[in-house]
């Protein structure tokens, strides 16, 4: 089929432009690998309590619409979630130890090895057999960049929690939610004032 010369020139350029637009939109929409594949469903059978929260962009928008702007507690949550693109939580409580192994977490940790992720906290307590890891993806340099994705893994002998939040967020905003609407108080650097079901951090008097 013979197309006129201008049309033949136009086709590759328009395809290239379309590809650039799609790729740039994808880059803006979501950082690479920001959404983790949390394939832990097989643990639900062994768990005494399972929490599975999957909120994608549309559900977050829907939830945000049911948060009041006028009530300060809800307004803070609304503000925090307004830019989020996804919240994914898997939490399991077990009646006895040894119901999961590191191998169960290996696929998630493998995804977090992607250079886009940086581990900002990693604590292993051999005594308590507990590990806690916090990973972030930032939009700029790590020092001044904005967090665009967050992953948390806390593994205890009888409890396992994996959290993945996608979208621009501020950890200070998250800490501001503490103490309201049943959300425990978390400090993100300053004084710690934890409440909730978990044991308090050991009190260390810094004198």
Partner 1 sequence: MAAGPAPALQPRRRAWAALAVAAVLLLGAVRGLELRQRQQRRAGEAAKAQLLLALRITSRALQHTEGQAVAALPTATHD
- Does 200 interact with partner 1 (rule: CB under 8 A)? yes
- Does 43 interact with partner 1 (rule: CB under 8 A)? no
- Does 118 interact with partner 1 (rule: CB under 8 A)? no
Give the N- to C-terminal CA distance of the chain in Å, as an integer: 84
Question: Hey, which residues does 118 pair with through a beta bridge?
Answer: 136
**Which one of 11-19, 22-30, 42-50, 177-185 is the stretch in contact with partner 1 (CB under 8 A)?**
177-185
**Which one of 12-20, 42-50, 109-117, 120-128 is the stretch in contact with partner 1 (CB under 8 A)?**
120-128
**Which one of 21-29, 100-108, 139-147, 180-188 is the stretch in contact with partner 1 (CB under 8 A)?**
180-188
- Does 183 interact with partner 1 (rule: CB under 8 A)? yes
- Does 96 interact with partner 1 (rule: CB under 8 A)? no
Q: How many CB atoms lie within 10 A of CB 89?
A: 16
DSSP string, 146-200: PEEEEEEEEEETTEEEEEEEEEEE-HHHHHHTTTSTTPPP--SSS-----SSSPP
Sole binder of partner 1 in the list 50, 79, 132, 170 (CB under 8 A): 132
What are the start-end ranges of the H helices in the chain?
A: 5-29, 57-65, 72-81, 102-111, 171-176
Sole binder of partner 1 in the list 50, 83, 89, 119 (CB under 8 A): 89
């Amino acid at each position: 089929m013979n197309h006129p010369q201008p049309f033949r020139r136009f086709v590759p350029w328009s395809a290239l432009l379309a590809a650039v637009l799609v790729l740039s939109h994808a880059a803006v929409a979501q950082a690479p690998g920001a959404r983790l594949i949390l394939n832990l469903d097989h643990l639900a059978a062994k768990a005494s309590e399972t929490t599975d929260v999957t909120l994608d962009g549309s559900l977050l928008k829907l939830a945000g619409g049911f948060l009041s702007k006028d009530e300060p507690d809800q307004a803070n949550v609304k503000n925090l979630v307004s830019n989020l693109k996804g919240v994914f939580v898997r939490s399991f409580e077990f009646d006895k130890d040894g119901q999961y192994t590191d191998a169960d977490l290996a696929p998630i940790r493998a995804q977090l090895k992607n250079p886009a992720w940086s581990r900002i906290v990693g604590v292993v307590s051999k005594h308590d057999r507990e590990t806690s890891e916090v990973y972030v993806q930032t939009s700029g340099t790590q020092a001044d960049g904005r967090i665009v994705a967050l992953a948390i893994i806390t593994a205890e002998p009888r409890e396992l929690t994996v959290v993945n939040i996608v979208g621009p967020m501020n950890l200070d905003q998250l800490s501001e939610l503490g103490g309201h609407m049943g959300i425990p108080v978390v400090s993100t650097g300053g004084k710690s004032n934890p409440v909730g079901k978990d044991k308090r951090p050991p009190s260390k008097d810094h004198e």
